[in-house]
Structure 1
Amino acid sequence: MSPLNPTATPFLPAISSLPTLPDTTLTSTLDLLFEPTSELHSLALPTIRTCSFASYDELIDTLRGQLLTIASQVQDNSEGKKKLHHVLGSHPRLGAPKVKQEDEELSEQSKNEQKQLRGGDENEARRLAELNEEYEKAFPGLRYVVFVNGRGRGVIMEDMERRIKRGDIREEEKEGIQAMCDIAKDRVRKLLKSAEEAV
C-alpha cells in the first residue's frame, strides 16, 4: 500500500485496519488527528501495532492515558519529559498571523480551527501575542494548547490569563494533553462526516 497522498482529500483508514498498515500510512493518519511530531509517532506506533481499537476515540483515549502517565511519572528535565513537551509544543501558537511556524506548514485543521482568532481588533491580536509569550516564559518548553471549539479571542485570553496566574506546570501538562485529545476527537468527527458526505 502506498503512503497517503498529501494532495488528496484527507481520510481516516478503517480503525480495524490500522495494525496492518505501513508506518507511513499510520504516521500520516496520526498527523491528521494531532499536529505532526516524531515523538508522538514513536509513542503511538507500537501501541497501534499491538492493540486493537473499536473506534478512533478509543485510540485517542489510550494515547491520552500514555501521555498522562509520562506527565505524572517522568522526572523534570529527563528525555521523557522533553519528548512530552515536544508533543505539546507541536501545536501552533493561538492566533499567530503567519501560516508557517518554525518552517513547517500549519496543518489545514489548525488553520480552520483558529481562523476566528486571526484578524479583527488589533489590540486584541497584540494582547493574544503577548499572552502567548507570557505563557511560554511561565512554562518553558510548553505551548498553550486549548480546544478552541468556536470560542472567541476574549474567552480564550481569559483562560490563558487564568492558567498563567495559576503557575502550575503539572496542571498545564495535563490540560494540554486533554486539549490535544479533545482536538483530535473533534477532527475525527469532522473527517468521518466529510467521508460520509463524499459517498
Structure 2
Amino acid sequence: MPSLPAIETVPSASTEERVGVLDTLFEPCTQLHTLSVETLGETKFESYSALIDVVGRQLQSLYESRLESDQKWLNDILAAHPRLGEKKVDSEQSRNEQAQLNQGEPGEGEKLAKLNQEYEEKFPGLRYVVFVNGRSRSVIMEDMQRRIQRGDVQQEKHDAIQALCDIANDRANKLLAA
C-alpha cells in the first residue's frame, strides 16, 4: 500500500520522493512531475490539502493559457488517468478505486468501453476523469453520456482538473487515516 510522508518533510525530500508524493496523489505522469516537483521542494505546506490546491492552481494556469503547448501539456496530465473500467490499470490506487466499476450488470463493461471510445473521439487528447466516490457504474455512465452530449471541451478540462484534485484529496485522507 502506498504511503505519504509527513507533510512538513515534503520540501526537504529528494526529487524522487517528491515524484512519489505526486504519483501517489495523482497518477504517474512526467508532465506533472515537470510542472510540480520543483514547487513541492520550494513550498512549505500546512496540509496535503494545501499541496493539492497548489498543484490544482498550476493545472488551472495551464487551462487558462492560450498557448497550444500548455494545452497539450494539460491534456497529457489529464490523460495520465486510466480509463474507467479498464482491466489493466498500473496504479494500485486506481485499481482499488475502480474495483466497484468492474462489477455490474452483464453488458455494462462493453457499454462503458464504448462510452470511453465515444468520449475520446468527441474530445481528442482527453480522457474522461471523474471522482467516482462510491457511485455505481450506471450513474457514472449517465454522467459520461451527459458530458459527451454537452460537447464542451473547455468545461471537460475544468471538470477533469477538479476531479483530479478531488481524487487526490480522497487518496490523501485515506492514506493519512490508515
RMSD across aligned positions (CA): 1.1
Partner residue, 1:71: 63
Q: How many equivalent residue pairs?
A: 178
Partner residue, 1:10: 2
Letter in 1 for 2:13: L
Partners in 2 of 1:113 and 1:177 — Cα distance?
18
Partner residue, 1:3: none
Which structure 1 residue ranges, 4+ long, deviate > 4 Å from structure 2? none
2:91 aligns with one of 107, 110, 113? 107
Partners in 2 of 1:132 and 1:176 — Cα distance?
14
Partners in 1 of 2:62 and 2:2 — Cα distance?
30
Letter in 2 for 1:173: K
Greater C-alpha Rg: 1
TM-score (normalizing by structure 1): 0.86
Matches within 5 A, 1:109-188: 109-188=93-172
Deviations 1:66-97 (A, max 9, x none): 1112101233xx2211111111001111011x
Identical residues among aligned pairs (%): 51
Which ranges of structure 2 fall in alignment gaps of 5 or more residues?
none
Partners in 1 of 2:64 and 2:163 — Cα distance?
17
TM-score (normalizing by structure 2): 0.96
Instruction: State whether structure 2 residue 42 is matched by structure 1 residue 50.
Output: yes
Partners in 2 of 1:108 and 1:14 — Cα distance?
21
Q: Which stretch of the first structure deviates more once superposed, 134-143 or 40-49? A: 40-49
Partners in 2 of 1:108 and 1:41 — Cα distance?
19
The alpha-carbon deviation at position 48 of structure 1 amounts to: 1.0
Which ranges of structure 1 fall in alignment gaps of 5 or more residues?
1-8, 101-105, 195-199
Conserved? CA contact 2:7–2:45, under 8 Å: yes
The alpha-carbon deviation at position 10 of structure 1 amounts to: 2.0
1:26 aligns with one of 18, 36, 41? 18
